Amino acid sequence: MVMMMFQLRPHIHILQYQYYHPSTTPKSAYNINNISKCRRREAAALSVSLSLLLFPSSSSSSSSAVASTSASKSSSSSSELLFLDIPNSGGVKVLDLRVGSGDVPLHGNQVAIHYYGRLAAKQGWRFDSTYDHKDENGESVPFVFVLGSGKVILGIEAAVKSMKVGGIRRVIIPPSQGYQNTSQEPIPPNFFDRQRLFTTIFNPTRLANGEGSTLGTLIFDIELVSVRHQ
In angstroms, the Cα distances linking 37 to 22, 33, 34, 41, 216 are 10, 12, 9, 7, 24
**Helix (H) or strand (E) segment spanning residue 205:** helix 204-208
Selection from 108, 90, 87, 86 nearest residue 222 by Cα: 86
Cα separation, 88 vs 76, in Å, equals 29
In angstroms, the Cα distances linking 157 to 103, 126, 152 are 16, 20, 7
- The pTM of this model reads 0.69
Per-residue pLDDT tens listing for the chain (230 residues): 434 444 443 333 334 333 333 334 444 433 333 333 333 333 333 333 333 434 443 344 454 444 444 444 444 433 356 899 999 999 999 999 999 999 999 999 999 999 999 999 888 999 999 999 999 999 999 999 999 999 999 999 999 999 999 999 999 999 999 999 999 999 999 999 999 999 999 999 999 998 888 899 999 999 999 999 87
Q: Do residues 154 and 90 make contact, with C-beta atoms less than 8 angstroms apart?
A: yes
